[in-house]
Every structure is written in C-alpha cells, then in structure tokens.
Amino acid sequence: MKSQRFAKLLLVSLSIGFTAFVFLNTYEVVFNRDVVLANAIERFQAQDQIGAIINQFDVKPEDSYDQTNAEYKKLEHIQIPALSANLYLEEKRVINGNWYVRPSMGHYVGLDKDSHGTTVDYLIYATSGWQSIAAPNQIEEGMDVKLFHDGHSLAMYQVAEKKMLPNDTAYVPSKSKKRQIILIIEDPASKVYYGYSLVQKD
C-alpha cells in the first residue's frame, strides 16, 4: 500500500511540476519576460553586435534610397535549399534593453527605409541548434536563400559574404545598393557567431 501511495504521489508531483514548467515557458513567450526556471527564450550572447549593425545601416549608398522596394509586412521564414535548412522568424524580442531569442526561431529587425518609407534592409539574428540552423559553418558564399514573407510570397537572396567572429568583435558587412539581409547566427558553446550578408537576386 505504501509503495502504491508513493507511486501516486510521485506521479502527481511530476504532473504538477511539468504543468508548471510548461506554464512558465508559455508565460515567457506570451508576455516577453525572462523567467529564471524557464528556457523558452534566452539572452543573446552577442548583445553589442546587434546594436553595432543597426548603427552601421544609418548610412547606405545614397542612390539606394531612390529605388522602389516591395513592402514586407511580415517575414515568415528563410530557407537554404543546399542545406535543407529552414529558420522560422518572428519580430525582435527586447527585455530590459537586452536582445533575446527563442532557440527555435530567428528574430528580425528593420534597419533602414527608402524615400517612400518602406523598410529596405533587415537584420535577422538567431542561435544555432537543431531547432534552427544546426551547422551555420556550412552556409557558404554563393548559396541561394529563399525568404518567405506575407504568407506565400517569395524573394530570392544569395549569400554574398560570410565571416566567423568572436562574440566581442563587431561584424562590419559590406554595403550593397541592392536589398540586403544581414544574418547573424551565434554558436554559444564556441563563443563565436557567424555573420552573413544576403543580397537580393535580380
């Protein structure tokens, strides 16, 4: 009898614990809060590098502002066909002035606008892992990248530049007159991140 009661008590305790863990993770995502016992969102390690890239795009080639750009209302996901890799996207997550990331997703930030008020270039940041991009070192210059936005709309990009940098070193991407996506993927275990310039294809 005692063993049965212990088994029931253990089962109830595990059920309550699991329910509480799921609730805390859901709370983190929905209310954008960093909860100590949850892991649905994590602080991005290369904090300063996001701000540095945003500041760099205050200055773009002057004639690029006069170009007409299609509006992306919502970025959905990027796909790298050569690697059979997908990275699903949501808008940036900022908590108490710090950049946060969901391990299963990338997050995007609009960088600049053209003369018509349309966001031109974007920054996407993510953490490497089996839920996102497992091996960012395999992304190479020349690879095609598909950007899906606003449902089923598709824009084609190409990796124009790749760099691997320590977390405390800023990535300075080459500027393009064409539309650009700056993609940074950190590898927390190695304390490095990969920076890529994706340029829109004609």
Q: In the chain, what are the domains?
A: 1-40 (no CATH), 41-200 (2.40.260.10)
The segment with the largest mean pLDDT, out of 17-26, 74-83, 167-176, is 74-83
For residue 154, pLDDT over 90 is answered with yes
Judged by phi (left if over 0) then psi (alpha if -120 to 50, else beta), residue 90 lies in beta
Q: Give the mean model confidence (pLDDT) for residues 82-101.
A: 91
The reply to whether the predicted model has a pTM over 0.75 is yes
CB 172 within 8 A of CB 56: yes
Taken as a whole, the chain contains a residue count of 202
